[in-house]
């Protein structure tokens, strides 16, 4: 079977800008990806194409490169929490200006690398975008876990996130339900069933329907956790009218949560000095 065509990262620059504009000028990585997937009407087949051996999809990977280039082009910035925002220039830039700005950025990169005596081309994709490198390493570690260990990690994550109790069922034939947590909100507590899919690639709408079916008659709050991604149809199914809504946590969000709660992820903040020389100071002495 032929591999579906995936747009190049440079072809995703403008869709990423449009997505952030439609989101009010800023958005999380998940929001931006979801907006681009819907706006560009990517098929399930396109969304299922993995980057290398996964678990990230090729679309996610190229969108990460697009965001990295938008930052270098002065059109977007990102916070430590993974929220991307358009700059003043990004809010007014036009589609026709994207390629000239990209070429200017590439020339700056090449010049900087020449200054460092490096011959590496600036626009080759043989390295991962900065925002994805640690996530890829983390996802590789998660994929190497045994299934029961991954379920225990999900259990620990729920406890760290404020669940008053969390248990792993560990029973076969339980309809795909891996565990049950109790979440307390002020004076009210309610049960939340969860399912873990240590998965490479995209989880489709069928998996969401199956999980909801397993919950039928037992509860109406569910949490589906995966190391992969969810297709647009899966996200639509999770919030379908007339059916109990399900919360979805994909690989990107899972990495952010593990980082937030320091579960196997250690964050070190480094300070960088920008030193500028004022020649006029010396000439005026």
CB-based contact 11:24 (threshold 8 Å): no
Query: Do 194 and 152 share a structural domain?
Result: yes
Number of domains present in the structure of the chain: 2
223: in domain: yes
32: in domain: yes
30: its two tokens? 């998940």
Query: Do 109 and 32 share a structural domain?
Result: yes
Q: Is the pLDDT assigned to residue 85 strictly greater than 80?
A: yes
104: in domain: yes
Q: What is the pLDDT of residue 276?
A: 82
Say whether pTM exceeds 0.75. Answer: no
129: in domain: no
How large is the angle between the packed helices 13-22 and 58-72, nearest 10 degrees? Answer: 80
Query: Do 150 and 103 share a structural domain?
Result: no
246: its two tokens? 């399900």
Q: With pLDDT > 70 as the criterion, what percentage of the chain qualifies?
A: 90
Going by pLDDT thresholds of 50, 70 and 90, the confidence category of residue 52 is: confident
For 250, the domain range is 145-260
Query: Do 169 and 113 share a structural domain?
Result: no
Q: What is the pLDDT of residues 196-206, one digit of tens each?
A: 988 888 888 99
Quote the DSSP letter at residue 123. T
276: in domain: no
139: in domain: no
Query: Do 70 and 165 share a structural domain?
Result: no
Euclidean distance between the first and the last CA atom of the chain, given in angstroms as a whole number: 74
Query: Do 112 and 25 share a structural domain?
Result: yes
Q: Which domain CATH number covers 42?
A: 1.10.10
Mark out the alpha helices in 41-97 (DSSP H runs): 44-47, 58-72, 88-92
Q: Which domain CATH number covers 252?
A: 3.40.1350.10
Query: Do 217 and 163 share a structural domain?
Result: yes
Mark out the alpha helices in 2-92 (DSSP H runs): 13-22, 29-40, 44-47, 58-72, 88-92
Query: Do 114 and 27 share a structural domain?
Result: yes
Query: Do 21 and 56 share a structural domain?
Result: yes
Q: What is the pLDDT of residues 157-178, one digit of tens each?
A: 999 998 989 988 865 545 678 8
Q: With pLDDT > 90 as the criterion, what percentage of the chain qualifies?
A: 42
How many Å apart are CA 247 and CA 195, to the nearest integer? Answer: 11
Mean pLDDT of the chain: 86
Q: Is the pLDDT assigned to residue 120 strictly greater than 60?
A: no
For residue 8, report the phi and psi dihedrals to the nearest 5 degrees: -70, 160
The residue written with tokens 């990517």 in the block is: 42
Tally of CB atoms within 10 A around 37 = 24
Q: What is the pLDDT of residue 268?
A: 80
83: in domain: yes
Average pLDDT of span 30-40: 90
Query: Do 251 and 198 share a structural domain?
Result: yes
Query: Do 33 and 89 share a structural domain?
Result: yes
Tell me how far CA of residue 139 lies from CA of 22, 24, 40, in angstroms. Answer: 30, 30, 27
If 0-12 CB within 10 Å is exposed, 13-18 middle and 19+ buried, where does residue 181 land? buried
Q: What is the pLDDT of residue 104?
A: 95
Query: Do 252 and 192 share a structural domain?
Result: yes
41: in domain: yes
């Amino acid at each position: 079977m032929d591999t579906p065509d995936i747009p190049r990262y440079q072809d995703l620059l403008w869709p990423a800008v449009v997505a952030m504009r439609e989101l009010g000028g800023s958005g999380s990585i998940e929001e931006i990806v979801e907006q681009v997937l819907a706006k560009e009407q990517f098929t399930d087949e396109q969304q299922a194409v993995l980057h290398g051996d996964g678990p990230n999809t090729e679309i996610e990977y190229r969108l990460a490169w697009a965001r990295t280039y938008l930052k270098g082009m002065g059109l977007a910035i990102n916070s430590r929490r993974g929220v991307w925002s358009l700059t003043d220039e990004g809010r007014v830039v036009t589609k026709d200006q994207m390629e000239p700005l990209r070429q200017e950025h590439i020339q700056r990169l090449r010049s900087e690398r020449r200054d460092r005596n490096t011959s590496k081309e600036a626009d080759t994709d043989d390295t991962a975008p900065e925002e994805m490198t640690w996530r890829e390493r983390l996802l590789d570690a998660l994929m190497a876990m045994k299934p029961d260990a991954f379920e225990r990690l999900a259990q620990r994550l729920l406890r760290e996130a404020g669940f008053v109790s969390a248990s792993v069922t560990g029973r076969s034939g339980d309809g795909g339900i891996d565990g049950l947590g109790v979440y307390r909100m002020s004076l009210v507590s309610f049960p939340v069933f969860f399912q873990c899919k240590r998965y490479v690639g995209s989880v489709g709408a069928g998996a969401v329907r199956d999980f909801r079916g397993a919950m039928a008659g037992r509860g109406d709050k569910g949490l589906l956790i995966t190391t992969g991604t969810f297709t647009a149809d899966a996200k639509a199914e999770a919030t379908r009218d007339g059916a109990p809504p399900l919360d979805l946590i994909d690989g990107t969000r899972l990495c952010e949560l593990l980082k937030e709660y320091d579960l196997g992820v250690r964050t070190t903040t480094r300070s960088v000095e920008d030193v500028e020389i004022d020649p006029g100071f010396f000439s005026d002495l």
